Amino acid sequence: MAAFGSLSTRLTETLAKLRTKGKLSAADVDGTVREIRRALLDADVALEVVKSFTAAVRERALGAEVSEALNPAQQVVKIVNDELVTILGGESRRLELAKTPPTVIMLAGLQGAGKTTLAGKLAKHLAGQGHTPLLVASDLQRPNAVTQLQVVGGQAGVPVFAPEPGNGVGDPVRVARDGVAEARRRQHDIVIVDTAGRLGVDADMMRQAADIRKAVQPDEVLFVIDAMIGQDAVATAKAFQEGVDFTGVVLTKLDGDARGGAALSIRGLTGKPILFASTGETLDDFEPFHPDRMASRILD
Ligand code: GDP
């Protein structure tokens, strides 16, 4: 997986330059921090996140916790690595399962973020762990969304609850509620509710997502965000946080030449953990998110 393309290259090149130096001066540290700052900004990482990241790296590098085992250059690499782990969320966090099944997981995000694909990936992943998920098609906005969910459900070997065809325009809140009731009746232990997005942040979409949330009282609301959306990540994430609120984040399209902005900003902007990463178009291109592993891939 190409973890953050050019950002990764620039950070590793910046840090590699320190290797030829025996001892690091304050000017060396400042020069390195400036290059890191520029690389992060060019990768569309949110300014407030860049500021806190570079301040932490600078302070720690100047304070240089002296380690017998590491030379100064290695110490800076370790500091940058540690701070990347921190902005990516520190510890990895797993899904919260309800004490009394079914666990209700609602997906929210812009159209095209990868929600429907993600629904299939998550369902397959959970089924592989012995769960019995039910997918619920509450995205009635996009003409093909229901069929698309049925296709990914079929690929994942997971049933899909969908509104009856020809049943008028359809009410996504009702479909979500009926889907959860169906899961309870058929003893599925997890329900994944796919919801409608729009191309941009939109009041109707937010209201609908908030209504679905209220109706089904999910245990997890996962905000699905395209890792490539760059600077728009800030406004989009904040709008979803205010409009729907969410308990965790899924990053999609990390396989592209993602500049990394959304991925590195989202935790700092929202305070919410990243739970999963989507890394391609097939159902197996999916993994639980581990901040430490992601940081190592960026600095690889
Ligand atoms: P939704 O509108 O949020 O439901 O988004 P979709 O699930 O329909 O995904 C939009 C497009 O992005 C589709 O063409 C997917 O195949 C594609 N897609 C979804 N996730 C990924 C991913 O992780 N990597 C890549 N390369 N494409 C993805």
User: Cis peptide before 102, with omega less than 30 degrees from 0?
Assistant: yes
> 273: which 2 tokens?
């953990």
Q: Is 195 annotated as a binding residue?
A: yes
Cβ–ligand 1 contact at 32 (below 6 Å): no
User: What is the per-residue pLDDT for 168?
Assistant: 46
As given in the structure block, the two tokens for residue 275 are 């739970």
What is residue 251's predicted lDDT score, i.e. its pLDDT? 95
Q: Does 197 appear as a known binding residue?
A: yes
190-195, strands of its sheet edge to edge: 160-161, 133-138, 190-195, 103-108, 220-226, 248-252, 274-278, 286-288
In one-letter notation, the amino acid at residue 164 is E
Q: How far is the CA of 13 from the centre of ligand 1 (A)?
A: 32
Q: Which residues pair with 222 in a beta bridge?
A: 107, 248
CA gap 1, 290 in Å, rounded: 14
Look at the block and give the residue holding tokens 């159902």: 283
Tell me the average confidence (pLDDT) per consecutive run of 10 residues in the chain, 300 residues long: 76 91 86 96 93 96 72 90 96 94 97 96 98 96 90 98 72 95 97 93 92 97 92 90 96 82 90 96 96 92
280: Cβ below 6 Å to ligand 1? yes
Q: Measure the CA–CA gap between 99 and 23, rounded to whole angstroms.
A: 55
CB-based contacts of 49-54 (< 8 A; 24+ apart in sequence): 49/87, 49/264, 49/265, 49/268, 49/269, 52/87, 52/268, 53/83, 53/87
Q: Which residue lies with its CA nearest to atom 28 of ligand 1?
A: 281
The model's pTM is 0.94
198 belongs to an annotated ligand binding site:
yes
Residue 31, class by beta-carbon neighbours within 10 Å (0-12 exposed, 13-18 middle, 19+ buried)? middle
User: Per the annotation, does 110 bind a ligand?
Assistant: yes
Quote the ligand 1 centre to 226 CA distance (angstroms): 9
pLDDT of the residue at 6: 86
What pLDDT score was predicted for residue 143? 79
CB atoms within 10 A of CB 118: 23
Ligand 1 pocket member 218 (CB < 6 A): no
